[in-house]
Structures are given as C-alpha cells and as structure tokens.
Amino acid sequence: MGDPYHHGKTRDHDQEQEVIPPIRLDDAEWKIIQQNTFTRWVNNHLKKAGDSIHSLETDFSDGLKLISLATVLSQKNVGRFNKKVNFRSQKLENVSLALKFFQDVEHIKIVNIDSSHIVDQNKKLILGLIWTLILHYSISMGWVQEKNDGQPEETPKQKLLNWIRSKLPVGMPLTNFTSDWNDGIAVGALVNAMVPGAVSDWEQWTPDHALENTQKAMQIAQDRLGVAPLITPGELIHPEIDEMSVMTYLSQFPVAKLDQVARKPEPPAEPIATGILEGLDEFPKVNMPSEFYVNVFGDGYRPKMKIIDPDGNEVHYTVVEENPHKFLIIYTPLRYGVHHLSLSLRDVALGTTTAVEDASRTVEALPVARMCSYPDRVRVGDVVPLRVEDAMRGVVEVVVVDAKGAEHLLAVIEGPGKGVHTCEYLPNGSGLHTINVFHNRNPIHGSPFPLRVSDRHSFSVWGRGINSEGIRVGDVVPVHIDVKGPTAEVVDDLSVQVFADDGAVVPVKLQKKGSRSTFLYSPTKVGGHSVHVANKLGPIGQSPYKVDVLPVTKSRVRAFGPGLEGGMTDQQSVFGVETNGDADRLAFSIEGPSKTDIICQDRGKGAALVSYTPKEPGVYKVNVLAGGEHITDSPFVLEVEPTVAGFYPSAAQLICHENEVNLIPGEPASFQIDTRNAGACGDTPSVEVFDEDLNLVPLSGSPIDDGIYGYSFVPKTTGKHHIVASLRGVAIPGSPFPVHVRNPIDVSKLRIYGPGVDGPVKSQEPTHFTIDAKQAGSGAVEVALADKSGRAVAIDVLDNNDGSFTVKYTAPRPGSYQLNVVFAGAQVPPIEINVEPQVDISGIRVTGLENAIVTVNCQQEVHVFTPDGDNTRIVIISPSGSIVEAIIESTETGFRVWFTPSEIGDYTISVTYRDLSIGAPYLLHSVPDGNTAEAEYVVARSGPPRADLVTVTGPGLGPVIVQRSTHVSIDTTSAGFGDIDLFVDGPTRTPIHCVDNHDGTLTMYYVPQTPGVYFLRVMFGSNHIAGSPFQVIAVPAMLASSLTAEHEISESSFTSLSSGSSTPKTTPCA
C-alpha cells in the first residue's frame, strides 16, 4: 500500500518521498491526530508573523495564509500577491505564487498538486503538501548529522531515528516512530539525555503510567529545551498514532537548545533583527493610498520607513501594528515617477536604529487607471465597447459577471495610445451584469461597473406551466409569452420545449391571440421536467424552468371562479371552494406584486367564498391547499390588469326569479345580467355554469337590451350548480351564484319507523330507526335528537345506498326526547320519544313536597318510599348553591328526611335511584316569616274598592315552565280599600304564597307542577279585576327554547343527509 499523500513515485527515490508511510484506514483516529499535529506545526511557525489558522482544509483556500507560511519558513519575500481576494481567479493566482515559490526558489519537489486542489479545499492533498514542508524544513534541512565516508545517504526517517538512538542508553530498543513511544519511557530517556538529571527517574517508569510519564517528559522538554507540544500526551500514547505525527514532534529535538537554567550558561548573543517588505505594489497610483506589510524577525523592534519621491521629497506614511512582528504601512504617492523605499528597525528598548540593507526597494507611481464612458443600458446581442485609459505599466484584466453569476474573461487589446486598453462584450442574456476591471490585479476606481441588459424584445413568460410545484399527471398547463412591441417575425420565432428527466419529449400545442403566445402541454409521468423557453437569440426569461410533476391528487376539494382566472387592481377578486365531503384542512395564500389579504366566508355544507383585492397589476399565484397539498389546478396563475377609469363592476347585477334558484333536471332555467350601471362600455359579461362535479353546462346567451343580457341553460343532473359571471375578470356581486337542482319532492312519502321511534326505548341501550326517502324525491334530510333540556344526542347515520338511511343512537338518560326531521327544507312534525329507565322505579315515591312554598327557618319533613334504601339518594341545594345538611332516619318503607331552610329563595331537591332521577328535581320556594297568606289578602287604602284600577304584571302570566317558581306583581295603589282574593286553578292543586311589599303592591309566588292550562283569578272587593281570570300556559322545560336561550337547539345539532341519488353524502350542516 502507498502513502496517503504521495501521488506518484519517481525512479530517483527522492529522500523526502521515501519516508511517507503506507495508507491507513480513512476513519481511523490517526487521521484526526495527524491533522491536529500538522495544524499545530503550521501555527507554531505562523505565530512568528502574528498569524494563525483554524482549519488546514479551508484557511489556505485564498492563498494568503500559505504565502505568509512560505515567508516565515524561508525568511524570503515571496513576491506581489492579491491582498484583497474577490474572485476565484485571484485565489488561484495567490496559491500558484506560493507553490511556484516552494518549487523554484526553495527547490522543494511538489508532485500532483496544483492551485485548484487547495482552492477547492481538498484536505487529503493539503495534508500531503504540509507533510512535504515538514520533511523539508524540519526533518531534512533543520540540522546536519555527521557521517562516515562511503556511508550511503540516509532517508530523513533513518537520519532522525539514528540520531535519537545515539542519544539513548546503549541497548535501549527503538525501532519505530509509533508503538515504541506509547508509554512515555522513550521520551523521558531522550529528554534526560539532552538535559542530564532532568528526568532522572525515567528508568523506574512503567507502561502502566504511560500518560503520567509522557506528560512529565513533554513538559520538561517544553520548559528546558523549548520543544513545542505539537502533539498532546494523550495523542502520543494512542495505539493508533501515526509515525508522521511522532516524527513531526521529535524533529524539534536535534535543533533544541538548552535554556539558561543549564549548568554553564553562556552569555546571551547579540540579537540579530531583520525584516522584509511583503505585498509591495510596484506600480502604486498617484493620489491613491497604497499598502504593504513589514514582517519583523526579532523581538522588541518597530519598522522605520524612508520613502523618497522623484523630486527628493519624503512621503508621509502611517504604521499600523497588527502584532509585534507584523506592521501595515500606508502611504500615498503625490508625484508620478520612481519612489525609493528603505527600511530600518528601531530597538524600542534601546532607541537605536539599524538599517536593513537588503530590504530597499523602488516603485514607480503611475496615473490612476480609469474607465471611459460606456453604454450602461443595452439589449441582448448588442456589442458593448469598453475602454480603459491611464493604465500604465502592467496588465489590464476585465471580467464580466452576467445575471446568472457566470464569469466571462474578456480579451483586452493594448492601444491605441499609451496606457489605453480596449475590449468588447457581447451580452447573451438579460438582467444586471457587472464589469470588473483590474489593473495589476487591483480593481480600478469605480469597479465593478453596472451594465443593465434587457431583451431585444420585451418578453414576459408566465403561467402555471412553469411553476415548480402543483402540476400533476394529466393536467393541461399553459405557458404564456407576452411580447410588447413585437413584429410578426419575433412572435413566430418563439418556442417552448418540455423534457422529462429521462429525456422523453412532452408534446406542446401553440395558441395565439394578439401579442400573446400560449403553449399548452400535458405531462404523462411523475418526476422532474424542464421547460425551455426561447427565441432565435436564445433562452428568454429564466429558462430553463424546473417543474416537479406529482401524481393525480386524491383530494375532492375544487376551486373555481373569476378570481382564479384574472382580475383588476383595487377590485375585489372572488372564487368559490367546494370540499365535496373532504375533511382535510384548507389553506390559502397569494403571491404577487402586492401584499393581498385573504377573506374566507363559510357558506356552509362544505362550501366557502374566498375574496382578495390586488393593489398592483401583474401576475399573481393563488395557492389552495388541502391537507398541506395543492388541490386540482392549484396553484392558479392569473394576470391582474390596471384599473380602468369609469368601470364599476360592483354595479352589475344578476337577476333571476325565486323558482330559478331551485331547479328540476331537464327543465330550462334562465337569468339576466344587467351591466348598465357598471360603465362596461359595451363589454360582454363572461358567464359559465358548472354542475356539482364542476363540469361545464351548455349555456346560451344574447343581448336583450342595451347593457342587459339574457342566458338560459338546461341542467341534466341533480345537485348544486354554480353560475360564474364576471366583467373584465372581476366577479359580478354574488358570483359564484349557487343554484340547486333537485327531483320533485313529496314530504308525505317520507317514512320514519323502527324501534328507536316506536319503542320501547331504554336509557343507555343502543337502538335505531330508519328514514326512508325513496319515494319522497330528491332533497336534503336533516336530523336532530335532543332531551327535554335541549341537550343534543349523538347520532350515527348509515347510508343504505338505496335512498334510505339507518340512524343509530343511545339515549344517555330516561325521560322525554324530541326527534326533529327536515326534508328538502320542509319541517316534518316533531316525534316525541319516551325513554324508559333501565331499572324499575315504579315502587319509588316521594311525599311531603306537595306545598311548593314554605316559610324560612321552619323545619320540613320529606318521606322517601323505596324498596332499596342503599341505592337511593336525596340531595338538597340551597338558593346560594350549597348542599343543605339534613337528618335522615331509616324506616321500614324507606327513610324520613328533616331539614330547615335558612335562606329565602328556591331550594332544589333531587331524589335518585342508581343515578336515575325520580321525578323532579323538586322545587321549594322559601319566603320570609310573617308575610304569608293563602288565597286572601286585605289592602288598607281609603275610598271604595275599584277592581278596574288593579293591575297585574310579571312572568307568572305565562307562558311558564313546569316545576319552576314564577310570580306576578299586583298593584292596588289607586284602587281604594278592599280585599284581594287569589286563586290558581289547573291540572293539579297549586299552592300560592303572597308577600306584602308595604307600598300598595304585593307579589304572589306559585310553582306549576305539570304541563297544561292554568287559570289565575284575581278578585278585588269580590269583583274580578280587568283580564281575570288570566289563562296561563305551562310547558315542559324541553319545549322552553322560545322562553330562554339557555338550552337553545341550534342548527348545528342537525345531521344533514342527501336523498334521491345513488351515493348520498353525509356532512355537518353549517
């Protein structure tokens, strides 16, 4: 196996290539260790220039760090390079400069790697390059070993291994740069050999303490010998360590110097400082700042420049310290011609200055190159001449980046004239192009320059056929091309080609109308497609367009209407949506030139009306999604036109008779559209009629009068139909208009039967009944079931697919229930259903509650007769809602209950057996003591009794609710002196209770016990007052929805059915 970084061996067996180890597994730990070691080696050298890297893979891609590394390793000037990198070409130039320097100046053999590998961040080849540099600078030429005459030349690996063996005790085994270094003993022996006594106990070390051994030896090597920790102790003892990492670390020992702590310190040598100029522009521009770097090799020095212009004057400069070893010099030449630059280094501590003889340079200041005027707006195919002047000495490069991001390097011709360069550019696509002009690899003033290119003829490409998503197999989709100001030749030259990803060609059909060409195609397979739109000059728009074709949707949701076909700014666009029983959640969004709010109005029964108002003209895309996916024909792509002055589409009207809203199949239907007030200027309305499946219904129409149009059609099928009418793409108010087509109906033939209505029905036991509409005709059947309190009962409807339906339900509790059925809009008489309890409660009764009005703080006694007292419960609730404490005594027939009402108001007494209510709940009305009378009340007023002046008001005059307390107020303030006699006659005895209000009025309370007609007699002075006897109707609580909204049965409790078709539908009614 070969070396992972060696890409070809030559026959001369180059020494630096021979030591490269074999390839190892890609995912092994050694690769991570090796990358870390190489990165530390690079940073150990770059820190001398105040620089560093984070990633070998990415940080060399622009060439700047690589040039800095070459400068530090060689201590030579690499040459001029691009300090500001904007383009790939500049990256390639920088990297090529560094590689060429290594090969031509440093004579390092670099094989099978070029600048593109480093710019493209090829980690494997970059690691190979760094290893080559380590071999050259650290292992091969870092130190010299003596050898005997006639001894063959050693490879770097053998050379390093033999040197280390010469330092270690005789007999200590050392054969490799991997496993022999895993326990730290070899490192300890080597450090002790170079710093005697520093690791005197290394011979007692054992492999069991490998990490501790290695940490100690490496720390002493760093402190006493200056050996940088290019590898961590944990990495060095890793069983997968590779020999290149170990060799990189150990290569520091042959050149290591014992520090001043050694036994015989030598006096410090006089520091030698030097510096080089880096990145110097040989042709700076007059009156333009120019920058270069001074790299100082030595501590405690600052650069001092002397810049002399052609007239002998010194040029001012600025020094910016980036780090102690790297300084940025900025100066601005003010004269044309040669400038002389010399470098000196000033010792900051001593204040002395030393000239750096080999750092003197000369540059020639030139005029600033400038771009002459050029046409900044052209058309595709136009030749754009470009001229650059004052570009003295050096190369002029012009790179144009087109609207798609592609780079075009232009051929530049020098002349005519000194410093003049010319070239031409031929744009082949519309959009914004940028012209980048470089003089000596630096952008000239103003670069990049904009160039706006438009199509030779203005094309607008739009339509559903170029939309990236939503198109499905079998859809016929359009691609519209609008040409503004075209000739017939240009229109004839347009083309659209559609290809599937497998290369199959999709047929395309062309339709023309005025300046618009519409190309239609229908994909036949799922997957990616590309749509190519072009004319004779090449692609137009953003061609090619990528389209993803999906399978046919399973969603039954459909959308239709003028708001999906066109529109006008500031006019409401409207379309309808039918879910057709699909329960998926709907979502709407609109994309276009202006932000547009969406208004969705629920029309019930799975229908919705959606509207939006575009504010700007242009192409809009309406997305309608069900369950997160596009429905059929979505997205809808349409064009909105500018507002037309004097056009008022909201003033148009669609007129039809009431009998034309509910139609019969086979019978003609007609309607009219009046546009006289719309300012339509002779525009004919656009009208279509769709059946329930959104198929077009044949329609005939003709003008009736000026601005009035008549239409007629004959529906063939039943179901909801839609009339879609618009003017100039704007919906006429109310469009889409729903009309219903039904077969003739006969409510009398609707049959409802089965044990669920005929009985017996038990609580908590499933039952069912049948609704047979086979003979009744076509119409919607709506069903609702509720108990006497108005609480709806859940029902389950099964379609028998023969015009009949089975309705299943389970009554949760005993009592009276009401079944309501509506057929084709007609109410069927309600059906009362009596639900019996599951258990026998006939033997349970309650006494002691006959008098519904009692006195506060007076003890009450109630008897409950029951054969099973353990499962019988009684609960008393006070007017404030708290449970009343009672005394309960068991008897042979059940139990006796005593309690004392302590609050004024209504008490509720509930008696249950096995959670089933026994009658009631019973009500007691507690009144104050000392203000009660039954049947008679004496009014003390002056004057004779006047019965005609007594008035009675209040809810007790009816209608009233059974078993709920009610009252009337009797006003005798103007009636004189007399007796009042009060009586309540009805189906059962009804106790009453009167309260004197001490102001000439009194309040009478009573509680009707059973439904029926009651008569309230009020007599004053033995004469009936006006209206007496009053007739009062008492109704059950379940029929009291007209009296109170507390338990109102809403329409949403109905289940809507459809009869008269082979596949009736069941949907909730809105």
Tell whether 1043 is covered by a domain: no
Residue 296 token pair: 């100082």
User: 411 and 489 share a domain?
Assistant: no
Kind of pairing between the strands at 337-347 and 353-365: antiparallel
354: in domain: yes
What totals of helices (H) and strands (E) does the chain contain, helices first? 13, 73
Task: Identify whether residues 393 and 406 lie together within a single domain.
Answer: yes
Beta-bridge partners for 508: 521
pTM above 0.85, yes or no: no
Q: DSSP state, 252?
A: T
In this structure, the answer to whether residues 38 and 123 fall within a common structural domain is yes
Whether 906 is covered by a domain: the verdict is no
What parts of the chain have a pLDDT lower than 70? 1-28, 141-152, 258-272, 456-457, 485-492, 657-662, 680-682, 778-779, 840, 850-852, 919-920, 930-943, 1037-1070
In a domain, 851, yes or no: no
Q: Which of 524, 549, 574 is the last residue of a domain?
A: 549
Preceding peptide of 991 cis, ω within 30°: no
Q: Indicate whether 916 belongs to any domain.
A: no
**Which letter does DSSP use for residue 526 in this model?**
S
Output the pLDDT for position 290: 93
Q: Read off the CATH number of the domain in which 500 is found.
A: 2.60.40.10
Dist. CA 752–CA 29, nearest whole Å: 82
Alpha carbon distance 689, 716 (integer Å): 12
Tokens 């969603």 appear where? Answer: 555
Output the pLDDT for position 729.
84
Counted domains in the chain: 9
Residue 941 contacts by C-beta under 8 Å, 6 or more apart in sequence? 972, 973, 975, 976, 977, 978, 1000
Q: Which pLDDT value is given to residue 1051?
A: 37
Checking DSSP bridges between strand 960-961 and strand 1030-1035, what pairing results, if any? parallel
Q: DSSP letter for 743, please.
A: -
Helix (H) / strand (E) containing 72: helix 64-74
Residues 6+ apart with CB under 8 A from 784: 792, 819, 820, 1049, 1053, 1054, 1055
Q: What is the maximum span of the chain, computed from C-alpha positions, in angstroms?
A: 160
One domain for residues 135 and 19:
yes
List Cβ neighbours of 840 (8 Å cut-off, separation of 6 or more).
none
The answer to whether position 621 is within a domain reads yes
| Cα–Cα distance, 710 to 704 (Å, whole number) | 6
Residues in the chain: 1070
Helix (H, G, I), strand (E, B) or coil at 244: helix
- Residue 229, domain CATH: 1.10.418.10
What is the DSSP code string of 17-64?
HHTPPPP--TTSHHHHHHHHHHHHHHHHHHGGGT---S-TTTTTTTSH
What angle, 0 to 180 degrees and rounded to 10, lies between the N-to-C axes of helices 88-100 and 64-74?
Answer: 20
Q: Are 660 and 601 in contact (CB under 8 A)?
A: no
| Together in a domain, 660 and 776 | no
Parent domain of 654:
649-741
Q: DSSP H helical segments within 711-808, as ranges?
A: 755-758
Q: Give the C-alpha separation, 241 to 219, whole Å.
A: 20
**φ and ψ at residue 221, rounded to 5 degrees:** -60, -40
* H-run or E-run covering 716: none
What pLDDT score does 54 carry?
87
Domain-embedded: residue 792: yes
pLDDT, one tens digit per residue, over 51-85 is 889 888 889 999 999 999 999 998 888 888 888 88
Residue 419 sits in the same domain as residue 305? no
Q: Find the angle CA(810)-CA(813)-CA(815) to the nearest 5 degrees.
A: 110
Q: Specify if 106 maps to a domain.
A: yes
Q: What is the pLDDT at residue 1040?
A: 56
Tell me the pairing of strands 567-568 and 636-641: parallel
Can the peptide bond before residue 21 be classed as cis, meaning omega within 30 degrees of 0?
A: no
Cα-based torsion angle of the residue sequence 114, 115, 119, 121 in order, rounded to the nearest 10 degrees: 20
Kindly state whether residues 374 and 361 are assigned to the same domain.
no
| Domain end position, chosen among 111, 140, 169 | 140
Whether the upstream peptide bond of residue 642 has omega within 30° of 0, thus cis, is: no
Are 585 and 663 within one domain? no
Among 549, 578, 593, the domain-final residue is 549
633 and 526 together in one domain: no
pLDDT digits 0-9 by tens, 717-767: 888 888 999 888 888 888 888 888 877 777 888 899 999 999 889 888 899
- Which amino acid makes up residue 146? E
Same domain, 996 and 1031: yes
